[in-house]
């Protein structure tokens, strides 16, 4: 028998039991839709968390800080060692200190960070207004939104603030006492951060006032593969090194487990759908025993009968899978645009909560059609083995 | 698949040759012998009527002849070829090409229309759908059933259904048509109609017919009467010797002009 005719027969058989076919395919559709929805939810969440944390460059950067013992400090000598580690692209230090920030008559407590434009570049800071300082030797400052609000500067750009900075002893050469200095800066940029007030100033402000030790440093590697090795080397120097890569790896690991759990739920759903399909096929086989017997009496080959039943199973599975994938993806798209609309109306940043790559869609389709094929094997084999004479005596 | 039947038929050898056929079934723990040694020759062009009481083994014999029931011993040759030396699928192929079957109760593939059911034997033989449907339509036309082509078979009356099953039995241009009490469920008028169709298939199209019946009235249609009793052939009466006029023998059963069959 021609394959196209087998396909036609299978289609006609399914079509003549519309309700049964729709219900069975509906079971498959629900489970496949459920799986697609769960996967895209998991992947969407994962993507949001990792995207929020970093851009690709951030994966190459190690954050170096002083270990708890404080035995070793980060100074120019240490910075020099960093650059000689191998595969290091650049290394830049930062100093942080407590400060009083004053504008007009108001003053608040905050933190001042001394860091150069290169360091800012590695941080990938987000400015809501203005620019970075033009070079590393100016007296320009960048403040955050929290500081701007608390100082009530209005539009902070171009305004002048005064910092009263206390320099802790660990930043100074050995045996020197706590130092204090005061300096006025022109605000050139505002960072989008509402948490606690802080100010960024060029590093020379601190070094000019006798600072020799740095609070921490960023070391950028040639590639993210070099990070693990460099982290080890820096830790061997007695310092602490962290990379976002580790955090991301941990997040990814969490989401991998999360995905496995979601997929197991989906797997249970598929199993239930497969059982439903198996049931339908078995009932259909019992109903058609006489018909199958007669088809064989007319000279239909066993393998044709076998394929007829398998095809019916695959057709139901394919129908259900396609409907499931379309509705699973569709639901994600609808919810995404709902979130987008909501975010727009409330002025928040929109996120894509549901995300599924095309290859996974095809994988889900493939797997569910394969499952339906396997489900059809047993009833099909039973059908192929039906004895025509017994079957025609049946009823 | 359409053999040159003229050559095959003119050989003068039996189309079906049954030698020493026995068949036992295991019922509970006892072997019940249903066929106890059947010898039967059916010649090309014969219209054989098989008589016998219920349980005498008629149906078993028929099923054995068409390759569905493997005999316990003995042999069945179809034009000299031993049926049971073939595999199950090869016997299925023989049924596809060589046999047309009509049962007491018409059997249908319920999801298909009348014309699709008639075309089914051609489809399993590998015809293109379009060609098969065309030939099936032609067959229905010969029986005046063209208007029912798109019906569901079970929407037709018993007599119509039986005519459609005859259509299906001849659509693949078989050597032999096997009919198991084809009029058993029909009223007298419909039954007579159906018998006339068989008669014309036998006489006009020169097809061999093997029919099981309970009705002694049908003796007049047959060229050979076979009486069975208790798994044996009691007697064989040849009513009319069959001679095949080769010039008139149509190679394609359906090639006969419309109306010839009715």
* Residues A81 and A147 both lie in one domain: yes
A64-73, A121-130, A378-387: which has the minimum mean pLDDT? A64-73
DSSP conformation class of B257:
P
Q: Provide the chain B residues 99-118 that lie in CB contact (below 8 A) with chain A.
A: 99, 101, 103, 107-112, 116
Window B:39-68, CB contacts with A under 8 Å = 63, 66, 68
Residue B245: its pLDDT value, please? 57
> So what's the pLDDT on residue B5?
39
Q: What are phi and psi of B138, to 5 degrees?
A: -60, -45
Which whole number is the average pLDDT over B235-242?
Answer: 82
With an 8 Å Cβ cutoff, is A20 touching chain B? no
Q: Token pair 């096997």 is at which residue? A: B178
CATH number of the domain residue B188 falls in: 3.40.50.300
The reported pLDDT for the residue numbered A259 is 84
Same domain, A93 and A47: no
Per-residue burial over A241-266, b if 16 or more Cβ lie within 10 Å, else e, is bebbbeebeebeeebeebbeebbeeb
Residue B246 in any domain: the answer is: no
**Mean per-residue pLDDT, A316-334:** 93
Q: What is the pLDDT of residues B14-58, one digit of tens each?
A: 889 999 999 998 888 888 889 999 999 998 889 999 998 888 888
ipTM for the whole complex: 0.83
Q: Is the pLDDT of residue A71 over 80?
A: no
DSSP type of residue A214: B
Got the DSSP string for B208-223? EEEEE-S-GGGGGG-S
Mean pLDDT of A265-276: 88
Task: Judge if A155 and A209 occupy the same domain.
Answer: yes
Q: Tell me if A68 is assigned to some domain.
A: no
In a domain, A194, yes or no: yes
Kindly report, residue by residue over A201-222, the tens digit of the pLDDT: 999 999 998 889 998 899 998 8
A300 shares contact with chain B (CB less than 8 Å)? yes
Q: Best residue in A298, A308, A387, A392 to probe B by mutation, most B CBs within 10 Å? A: A298
Average pLDDT over residues A82-100: 89
Q: How confident is the model at residue A55 (pLDDT cuts 50, 70, 90)?
A: low
Secondary-structure breakdown of chain B: helix, strand, coil percentages, each rounded to the nearest 5: 40, 25, 35
In the numeric block, the tokens 């030698």 are attached to B19
CB contact under 8 A, A291 and B109: yes
Query: A195, A210, A237 — which closes off a domain?
Result: A237
Beta strand A179-191 pairing with A160-167: antiparallel
pLDDT at B3: 41
Query: How confident is the model at residue B255, as a pLDDT?
Result: 65
A347 and A203 in one domain? no
Domain identity same for A303 and A367: yes
Of A194, A209, A237, the residue that ends a domain is A237
Q: In this complex, which of A295, A296, A297 lies closest to B109 when CB atoms are compared? A: A295
Whether B162 is covered by a domain: the verdict is yes
Q: Cα–Cα–Cα angle for A11, A13, A18, nearest 5°?
A: 90
The confidence score (pLDDT) of residue A53 equals: 63
Integer Cα distance of A372 and A274 in angstroms: 7
Number of domains in chain B: 1
Per the CB < 8 Å rule, is A291 touching B110? yes
Identify the band that residue A8 occupies on the pLDDT scale cut at 50, 70 and 90.
very high
What pLDDT shows up at residue A56? 65
How far is residue A281's CA from residue A271's CA, in Å, rounded to a whole number?
15
**DSSP readout, B54-112?**
TTSSHHHHHHHHTTSS--SEEEEEETTEEGGGS-HHHHHHHHHHHEEEE-SS----TTS
Q: Give the model's confidence band at A173: pLDDT under 50 very low, under 70 low, under 90 confident, else very high.
A: confident
Nearest to A226 by CA among A116, A125, A92, A91: A91
CA atoms of A111 and A201, how far apart (whole Å): 11
Q: Is residue B30 part of a domain?
A: no
Domain count, chain A: 2
Pair A88, A36 in one domain: no
Instruction: Provide CB contacts within 8 A for A196, sequence distance 6+.
Output: A110, A111, A146
Residues A225 and A96 in one domain: yes
Among residues A181, A205, A237, the one where a domain terminates is A237
What's residue B211's pLDDT? 92
Indicate if A221 and A79 belong to the same structural domain.
Answer: yes
Q: What is each CA distance from A278 to A6, A7, A9, A285, B25, in whole angstroms?
A: 20, 19, 19, 10, 34
Taking the Cβ of residue A359 and every Cβ of chain B, the question of whether any pair is shorter than 8 Å is answered with: no
Classify residue B122: in a domain, yes or no: yes
Percent of chain B clearing pLDDT 90 (strictly above) = 30
pLDDT tens string B146-175:
899 999 999 998 888 988 998 899 888 888
The answer to whether B29 contacts chain A (CB < 8 Å) is: no
Same domain? A15 vs A94: no
For B163, list phi and psi in degrees, rounded to 5: -65, -40
Closest chain A residue to B113 measured between Cα atoms?
A12
Give per-residue pLDDT as tens, A360-394: 899 999 999 999 999 999 999 999 998 888 887 76
Q: Residue A60: inside a domain, yes or no?
A: no
Indicate if A192 and A303 belong to the same structural domain.
no
Same domain, A86 and A121: yes
For residue B257, the model assigns a pLDDT of 42
- Check B107 against A294: CB less than 8 A apart: yes
Whether the per-residue pLDDT at A146 is higher than 60: the answer is: yes
pLDDT confidence band for A328 (50 / 70 / 90): very high
pLDDT one-digit tens code per residue, B5-17: 334 444 467 889 9
Which DSSP category does B253 fall into? Answer: G
pLDDT tens column, B164-213: 998 899 888 888 999 988 888 888 888 888 898 888 888 888 889 999 98
Considering the domain boundaries, does residue B86 fall inside one? no
> Whole domain around residue A94: which residue ranges?
73-237
- Higher pLDDT: B63 or B205? It is B63
Res. A158: pLDDT tops 70: yes
Residue B82 lies in a domain: no
Weakest-pLDDT range from A232-246, B67-81, B116-130: A232-246
The pLDDT of residue A329 is 93
pLDDT of res. A92: 92
pLDDT mean over A74-94: 88
Boundaries of domain holding B174: 5-13+44-67+93-241+251-255
| Residue A87 confidence class, pLDDT cut points 50, 70, 90 | confident
**Confidence at residue B11, expressed as pLDDT on a 0 to 100 scale:** 47
Is the same domain home to A326 and A205?
no
**Which segment of A123-127, B76-80, B198-202 scores lowest on mean pLDDT?**
A123-127
- Say yes or no: B30 contacts chain A, CB-CB below 8 A: no
In a domain, B198, yes or no: yes
* pLDDT computed for residue B8 by the predictor: 41
Determine the pLDDT at residue B250.
58
């Amino acid at each position: 028998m021609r394959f196209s005719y087998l396909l036609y027969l299978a289609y006609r058989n399914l079509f003549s039991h519309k309700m049964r076919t729709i219900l069975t395919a509906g079971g498959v559709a629900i489970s496949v839709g459920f799986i697609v929805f769960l996967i895209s939810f998991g992947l969407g969440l994962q993507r949001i968390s990792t995207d929020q944390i970093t851009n690709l460059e951030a994966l190459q950067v190690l954050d170096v800080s002083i270990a708890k013992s404080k035995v070793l400090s980060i100074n120019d000598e240490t910075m020099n060692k960093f650059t000689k580690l191998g595969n290091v692209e650049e290394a830049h230090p930062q100093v942080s200190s407590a400060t009083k920030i004053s504008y007009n008559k108001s003053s608040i407590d905050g933190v001042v960070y001394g860091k150069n434009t290169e360091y800012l570049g590695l941080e990938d800071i987000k400015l809501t207004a203005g620019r970075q300082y033009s070079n590393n030797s100016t007296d320009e400052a960048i403040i955050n939104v929290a500081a701007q609000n608390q100082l009530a500067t209005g539009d902070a750009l171009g305004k002048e603030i005064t910092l009263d900075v206390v320099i802790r002893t660990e930043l100074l050469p050995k045996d020197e006492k706590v130092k204090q200095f005061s300096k006025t800066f022109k605000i050139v940029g505002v960072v989008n951060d509402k948490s606690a007030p802080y100010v960024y100033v060029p590093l020379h402000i601190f070094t000019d006032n006798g600072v020799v030790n740095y609070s921490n440093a960023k070391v950028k590697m040639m590639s993210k593969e070099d990070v693990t090795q460099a982290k080890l080397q820096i830790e061997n120097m007695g310092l602490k090194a962290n990379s976002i890569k580790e955090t991301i790896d941990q997040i990814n690991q969490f989401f991998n487990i999360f995905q496995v759990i979601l997929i197991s739920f989906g797997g249970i759903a598929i199993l239930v759908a497969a059982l439903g399909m198996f049931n339908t096929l078995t009932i259909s086989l019992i109903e058609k025993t006489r018909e199958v017997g007669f088809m064989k009496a007319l000279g239909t080959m066993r393998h044709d009968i076998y394929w007829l039943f398998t095809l019916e199973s695959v057709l139901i599975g394919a129908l259900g899978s396609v409907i499931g994938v379309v509705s699973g993806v569709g639901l994600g798209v609808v919810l995404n645009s709902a979130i987008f609309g909501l975010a727009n109306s409330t002025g928040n940043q929109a996120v894509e909560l549901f995300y599924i790559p095309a290859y996974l869609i095809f994988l889900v389709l493939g797997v569910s059609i394969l499952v339906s094929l396997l489900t059809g094997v047993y009833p099909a084999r039973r059908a192929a083995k039906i004895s025509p004479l017994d079957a025609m005596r049946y009823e | 698949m359409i053999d040159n039947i003229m050559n095959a038929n003119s050989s003068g050898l039996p189309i079906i040759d049954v030698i020493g056929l026995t068949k036992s079934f295991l019922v509970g723990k006892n072997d019940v012998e249903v066929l106890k040694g059947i010898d039967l020759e059916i010649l090309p062009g014969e219209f054989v009527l098989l008589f016998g009481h219920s349980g005498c083994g008629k149906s078993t014999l028929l099923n054995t002849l068409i390759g569905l029931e493997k005999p316990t011993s003995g042999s069945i040759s179809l034009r000299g070829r031993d049926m049971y030396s073939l595999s199950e699928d090869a016997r299925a192929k023989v049924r596809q090409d060589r046999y047309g079957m009509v049962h007491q109760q018409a059997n249908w593939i319920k999801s298909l229309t009348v014309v699709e059911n008639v075309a089914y034997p051609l489809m399993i033989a590998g015809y293109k759908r379009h060609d098969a449907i065309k030939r099936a339509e032609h067959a229905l036309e010969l029986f005046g059933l063209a208007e029912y082509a798109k019906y569901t078979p079970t929407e037709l009356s018993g007599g119509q259904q039986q005519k459609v099953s005859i259509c299906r039995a001849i659509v693949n241009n078989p050597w032999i048509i096997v009919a198991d009490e084809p009029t058993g469920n029909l009223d007298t008028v419909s039954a007579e109609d159906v018998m006339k169709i068989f008669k014309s298939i036998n006489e006009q199209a020169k097809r061999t017919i093997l029919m099981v019946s309970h009705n002694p009235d049908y003796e007049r249609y047959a060229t050979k009467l076979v009486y069975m009793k208790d798994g044996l052939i009691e007697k064989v009466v040849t009513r009319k010797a069959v001679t095949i006029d080769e010039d008139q023998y149509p190679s394609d059963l359906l090639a006969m002009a419309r109306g010839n069959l009715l």
